Amino acid sequence: MRRRLLLLCSTIVILQLLLRLDWFASRDADVELVVTAVAAVVDEQFVCATLDLWPPEKCNAGTCPWHRGSSFLTAALPPLLPALKALRPLTLRLGGSLADHLHYGDACTVAPPGFGADDHSRFGFGDGCLTEARWVALNELCAAAGCSLVLTLNALAGRRRPRGCRRQCLGLKVLSDLPMHAKRNAARRAACCFNRTGAWDPSEARALLGLAARRGWRPRAVAYGNEVAGEKGLEARLSVETYAEGLAAVRDLLRELWPAAPPTLIAPDGNFDAAWMAGLVRAVPFLDALAVHVYAFGAGGNPHVDARLTDPEWMDGSVPDADELRGALGGADARADAAGVPRVWVSEAGGVSNSGRANATDVLLSSFWYADALGLAARRGVRTFCRQTLVGGHYGLLRPGAGGRIVLANPDFWVAWFWRRLMGRTALDVGATAPRWLRVYAHCGPRGGIALCVVNVDAHRAARVHFGAYRGLAKNREEYHIAAGPGGLRARDLRINGEPAPTLAALDGGAVPRARHGAPATPLRVAPSTIVFVSVPRARTEFCE
């Protein structure tokens, strides 16, 4: 009897503890907003998106999301104008995996747009063609929309595989796309396929960029190759010495064409490789910015990435810390304002690689990692953050509709839109102690005051953000709550302050989402699975004078 009584008492105690733990786990969070310092300052055109080059035949994980109208070389450009104007000043990057297969103007050997099937290429596609007319149309589009261009040059122009390698490369795909049992043999063959001989031929780049210079256009930045550097290169694995020689030639070309103000030179526009990049920084002290690619959540064929997009642990690793990255390269002073230290760009980030993931990176579920990545990148000193893509794949800010004659906004477009509208260049350190599921980012507002981006990835718990020292001024705050519509997080029909998001045509006509005004002296409530942008224009802090 005594044993049974002890067992019963123990069971009751355990149940009480479990109930108490569950109660604590389900409690809403209270966070006090306190600005403690300036964290970093980003570029004016911090928000960036890529126009990729994949042809309609590009498929991943059983889907082919690059249908006509999704890629730069096949999309009608005028329908993009309303979205680009809405996001201005936007940086528009022209590049992607096939950038080193793209030839320009008279150097084209295939009918445009090209990129036909080629089993000797690691990506399965041959050369493409950017015509003079298409290049002019893109520059005219950006002039009308107020965007600026980043061009990724073909770093393999003039280079060839060694004699005898072409046959070995037949049918060789990107190693990450192969099943495990096939990777070992493929890796042996790939060593030959990665190699390139010969010097870089700048004649095509000179013709393309020279046309822009004569017309009075200047790219914001120029990159040299896409993922062709070091052991993490995909189409090629150029050594530091080989790459640096070509990069110096690009520098000289840019200074010749725009002597007063050359475009920013960024490199290597690929995956982070500490040893290789450390060598590059030593070899090319003239480099303006280190440009890295980040796909932190995995490949599109991996079903686990869905849960990772709102997992705080995975989100924490979605963006590099700029100072830590530079420090890993062996710099004595890793700060971006130190003499001779390059800035850091994330020149490509889609969350999920290999064209993204259907019903994950093209629906509201994706907006949580994207809003968080913008906040993390700014706070960690990344100067420009390029989203993969503007349109195309399963990860576009936009998607084509009606045969490519119009474009429609995916939920992530609204994250970029509110960021451009409300969040200024100065990222602030916030002294708030928040649970990991509540992500709080503060910036100086573009027209004064403070702006917030608050991301609640918990599906059950809400949070209250208290304005503390700013309480008396917070009564004039504007709030924009982004939440799911009837379709939930796996749909594109989001709600902004409870109302459907306007169409791009309506937005272009001046129909902006209506603000919700916070009541005086009340905290900001952030509902479960919600992203909130807040403008507090009258809040004053010494860091935002």
97 is a domain residue? yes
CATH label of the domain that carries residue 513: 2.60.40.1180
- Asked if residues 296 and 318 have their Cβ atoms less than 8 Å apart, the reply is yes
Higher-pLDDT residue of 33, 175: 33
Is 170 among the domain residues? no
Would 311 be classed as within a structural domain? yes
Amino acid at 344: V
Residues 28 and 461: beta-carbon distance below 8 Å: yes
332, 411: one domain = yes
Q: Within a domain: residue 396?
A: yes
- Provide the token pair at 236: 């090629």
Q: Do 410 and 433 fall within a single domain?
A: no
Residues in Cβ contact with 179 at an 8 Å cutoff, skipping those fewer than 6 apart: none
pLDDT digits (tens, 9 = 90+) for 93-140: 999 999 999 999 888 988 899 999 988 788 999 999 999 999 999 999
Q: What are the structure tokens assigned to 138, written together? A: 């893109």
User: Does position 22 have pLDDT exceeding 90, yes or no?
Assistant: no
Does residue 509 share a domain with residue 387?
Answer: no
Q: What is the mean pLDDT of residues 438-459?
A: 95
Residue 166: is its pLDDT beyond 80? Answer: no
Mean pLDDT of 359-366: 98
For residue 454, the cross-strand partners are 440, 532
| Total domain count, the chain | 2
> What local confidence, expressed as pLDDT, does residue 71 receive?
80
Instruction: Count the neighbouring beta carbons within 10 Å of the beta carbon of residue 511.
Output: 11
Any domain includes 10: no
Query: Is 451:444 a contact under the CB 8 Å cutoff?
Result: yes
Cβ–Cβ < 8 Å for 105, 130: yes
Residues 463 and 485 in one domain: yes
Query: Quick check: is 400 in a domain?
Result: yes
13 lies in a domain?
no
Q: For residues 497, 503, 509 and 511, what is the CA-based torsion angle, rounded to 10 degrees? A: -10
92 and 137 share one domain: yes
Q: Are residues 90 and 134 in the same domain?
A: yes
Is the same domain home to 262 and 202? yes
Q: 65 and 32, same structural domain?
A: no
Q: Are residues 536 and 452 in the same domain?
A: yes
Please give the pLDDT value at position 513.
96
pLDDT at 23: 40
Task: Please identify, among 424, 439, 454, the residue that sits at the C-terminal boundary of a domain.
Answer: 424
- Per-residue pLDDT of 184-198, as tens digits, reads 555 555 677 888 888
CA distance 89 to 92: 10
pTM of the model as a whole:
0.92
DSSP 4-33: HHHHHHHHHHHHHHHHHHHHHHHPPEEEE-
Spatial distance between the Cα atoms of 493 and 113, rounded to a whole number of angstroms: 34
User: How confident is the model over 32-56, as a mean pLDDT?
Assistant: 95
Looking at the fold, whether 146 and 230 belong to one and the same domain comes out as: yes
Helix (H) or strand (E) holding 142: helix 132-145
pLDDT 10s digits, 366-424: 999 999 999 999 999 999 999 999 999 999 999 988 777 788 999 999 999 999 999 99
- Please tell me whether residues 328 and 437 are part of one structural domain: no
* Polymer length in residues for the chain: 545
Kindly indicate the confidence band of residue 72, based on its pLDDT and cuts at 50, 70 and 90.
confident
- Residue 232 reports pLDDT greater than 70: yes
434 three-class SS: coil
For residues 223 and 266, is the Cβ–Cβ distance under 8 A?
yes
The answer on pLDDT for 170 being more than 50 is yes
Domain boundary among 424, 453, 487: 424
The pLDDT, as a whole number, for residue 177 is 53
In sequence order, what are the residues at sequence separation of 6 or more whose Cβ sits closer than 8 angstroms to the Cβ of residue 248? 284, 286
Of the candidates 409, 424, 439, which is a domain's last residue? 424
Distance CA 291, CA 276 (A): 13
Tokens for 157?
Answer: 């122009």
- The C-alpha atoms of residue 51 and residue 120 are separated, in whole angstroms, by 25
Mean pLDDT value across the chain = 89
Q: Residues 489-493: what's their mean pLDDT?
A: 96
Q: Output the pLDDT for position 17.
A: 45
Q: Which CATH number goes with the domain that contains 86?
A: 3.20.20.80
Residue 360 within any structural domain of the chain: yes
pLDDT one-digit tens code per residue, 195-220? 888 899 999 999 999 999 999 999 99
Q: Show the domain range for 127.
A: 44-160+196-424
| Whether residue 451 sits in one domain with residue 401 | no
